[in-house]
Amino acid sequence: MTKKALLVGINDYAPAGAGGPDLRGCVNDVRDMANTLNVLGIVPAAPTTMRILTDARATRAAILTSFRWLLTGAKRGDVLVFYYSGHGSQVIDVGGEEVDQRDETLCPHDYATAGMIKDDDLRSLLAALPPGVNLDVILDSCHSGSATREMPPSMMADELLGEPAFATRYIEPPLDYGFFLDANPSIPLRSLMKPGGMEGGRRDAVAVPGLNHVVWAGCRDNQTSAEAPIGGVWRGVFTYNYCKALRGAGLAVTRRRLDAQVTVNVRGMGYAQVGQLEGTNIALDERVFT
């Protein structure tokens, strides 16, 4: 059985150094995720099994090349993990294949010149994934540009002192795409891989028949994903709680149960964002990373 992981975290967006739409917690997120995967024996910390791309090394070409590396040679029973921490966005679906007319995107370091990574790009690669491969896609980025998160009361003092209490991981789409989206406000938003949602404040994992991987999204399709100083260190709120809950529960916990615990913990910290877990019913009820 092969175990492999591709971990991407981008604080520093082009141009390198000060000047881009930079973040502060994404590299810390990657370090936390790498340590968690290694300590729990999910994926060993070795160059042959774990690729880590951060900041200027996390270009569009490098991420897609490494994603192909992750999937190459995959067979039934293998455990694969793709983790991304950084900005997210959306663009108008010019191809016309999306029901909601939007393509959700991840933003590589050089997105301004090389372009964003669309959900279509990832789905085309995932189409060749053999049956029985255990692939978990974990995303800590914004999937929406319209919603904002209420500031937890405990952080208001920091904000008043001039230190940003949190940041959202969202980048405005290019002007032309943004114009088309603004001109069609009735177009619904969606999650990166498949649609899902929440009714009446109650949030459940979303069963997607036939999905050949599992998606852990840091927020709902109409929310932003936050990063904030936690214990004096900037971290993604979702990633912090995901790794903490996973280390506490161990590998005997099911995906559905871990997802519920992460949601409770995020709300307990005062954040409104709600994570989204998606997969087949069988995968949701299986133990994590199996």
Report the SS3 class of residue 238. Answer: helix
Q: List the beta strands (DSSP E) in 10-133.
A: 50-54, 79-85, 88-92, 102-106, 117-118
Q: Are 139 and 196 in contact (CB under 8 A)?
A: no
Could you confirm whether 142 is annotated as catalytic?
yes
Q: What is d(CA 5, CA 81) in angstroms, rounded to the nearest whole number?
A: 5
Calpha distance 81→147 (Å, rounded): 29
The tokens for 273 are: 């964002």
Q: Which of 26, 107, 142, 219 is labelled catalytic?
A: 142
- Asked if 107 contacts 10 with a C-beta cutoff of 8 angstroms, the reply is yes
- Catalytic-role residue among 87, 109, 143, 213: 87
| Residue 193 CA, distance from chain mean position | 11
Cβ-Cβ contacts under 8 Å for 138 (sequence gap 6 or more): 33, 81, 82, 83, 84, 216, 239, 242
* Token pair listed for 29: 């997120």
Catalytic residues: 87, 142
